[in-house]
Structure 1
Amino acid sequence: MSKYLLNKFLYTVDRDPSLVERYRSDPRELVTWWEASSANELLNCTDAEASTWLRFDDEERAALIEHDHVRLFEMGAHPFLTLTLFIAMFERDNTEPLEYQKAYGARMAHINLPYPDIAT
């Protein structure tokens, strides 16, 4: 499992509106494409810099495809990254102010201190 790779996915997708829409509409396609095309690119480096070994494991891939922010947090994904990305994807589906954020928090209510380690 790679908390770095999970957080890198969340961070890079959240910063590109076209990727946000692809992730919302076809998460399996976006996760598969991103893993093949971007997982091994190093952040803030030249195109010539790359790694070859980073891959999601089956549990990470499933949680990303299912938009399961609770499971992602339990695996160590940073909650601010999931929250900002998922707000961009799902807040528009709600009619009440902060409705999505409240639902996000309610789904995490069962998690007690100490929280999972989110350090990368």
Structure 2
Amino acid sequence: MSKYLLDKFLYTIDRDPELVERYRTNPVATVTWWEDEYARKLLNCHGGEATTWLSFEAAERQALVNQDYAALFELGAHPFLTLTLFIALFERDYDEPLGFQLAYANTLQGWLGRPYPDFSTP
């Protein structure tokens, strides 16, 4: 598993409003495109380089495609990157102030009193 690649996806998608919308409406195509094309350019890798850290593992890909921030949290994605991207994706779906943030906190409430997953990138 490459937490660095996972975090890089969250960071780059969140920083571009067009990519946020693309990911919101078509997560499968966005994850596939980003992994196959964008990650290599972003990380300065030439076409002949083939290493496992340039692709998501099945659990990572599934969590990204399903836009499952709880699974991403458990996989060790950085919580601030996850929160900011998912605010951009889903805040508009809530009528009350801080609606998504409260839903996010409620979803991750099971982690209270437990050690956080390791989200360091060695």
2:45 aligned residue (50, 53, 64) = 50
C-alpha RMSD over aligned residues: 1.2
Q: Distance in 2 between matches of 1:67 and 1:88?
A: 12
- Aligned mates of 1:101, 1:23 — CA distance in 2: 19
User: Which residue matches 1:94?
Assistant: 94
| Residue 81 (structure 2) aligns with | 81
- Name the aligned partner's letter for residue 115 of structure 2: P
Give the number of equivalent residue pairs: 115
CA distance in 1 between partners of 2:56 and 2:4 (Å): 10
Normalised to the residue count of structure 2, the TM-score between the two structures is 0.89
Q: How far does residue 42 in structure 1 lie from its aligned partner after superposition?
A: 4.3
Secondary structure of 1:106's match?
helix
Q: What is the CA-CA distance between 1:38 and the residue it aligns to? A: 1.6
Aligned to 1:67: 67
Match of residue 35 from structure 1: 35
Residue deviations 1:60-96 (CA, integer Å, cap 9, x gap): 0000000111110111100110110010111011100
Taking structure 1 as the reference length, what is the TM-score of the superposition? Answer: 0.91
Structure 1 unaligned spans of 5+ = 44-48
Q: 1:11 corresponds to which letter in structure 2?
A: Y
User: Alignment identity in percent?
Assistant: 59
Question: Higher helix share goes to which structure?
Answer: 2
Query: Please, which runs of 5 or more residues in structure 2 have no aligned partner?
Result: none
1:3-22 equivalences in 2 (<5 Å)? 3-22=3-22
Q: Give the residue type in structure 1 aligned to 2:31.
A: V
Aligned to 2:115: 114
